[in-house]
Structure 1
């Protein structure tokens, strides 16, 4: 044991009990990540929004798109009611 040398860490060759042999067993990954375009290394905010809009346009489930539009419309309407906006401009006399 020298005074000037640093101690080396021990290395263990550990494999998990039920490891099947493909990929890294310690990597935590969501099961739908390979199908999403919005997950990953997006360099800036504009690219994230562009990827999200493309993903929404390429979505084949139209009921989900309608549901999102309906939820946004209800939330905007509630927001306008809370701040006291005059909603009579939207309705004819």
Structure 2
């Protein structure tokens, strides 16, 4: 066991006695492994970022969820600025 290497979990090949299905029912895997490349065991920050950007570019958002999130964030920011009585006149050119 090296000092800098991470420890891997042990894997067992246990097959239940009365299970007649396909594969191992006790196998742990992510729900979206079949659809995403970002759920794997990627090494390094650059690889993770590149995989996330590629995944974002290839999967087109058809429901408009990204736009909806941006609208909600903008509304929350405006409500926060209203609560703290932020003066928006500092952004105008007339002084």
Q: TM-score range by the shorter chain?
A: 0.5 to 0.7
Unpaired segments ≥5 residues, structure 2: 1-13
For normalisation by structure 2, the TM-score amounts to 0.52
Higher helix proportion, which one? Answer: 1
Instruction: Tell me what 2:60 maps to.
Output: 60
Q: Aligned pair count?
A: 78
Unpaired segments ≥5 residues, structure 1: 1-12
Change (3 A) 1:28 1:60: same
Asked whether the 8 Å contact 2:32–2:39 carries over to 1, the reply is: no
RMSD value, Cα: 3.4
Please identify the structure whose Cα radius of gyration is greater.
1
Instruction: Tell me what 1:32 maps to.
Output: 32
Asked whether the 8 Å contact 1:38–1:48 carries over to 2, the reply is: yes
Displacement of 1:87 after TM fit? 5.2
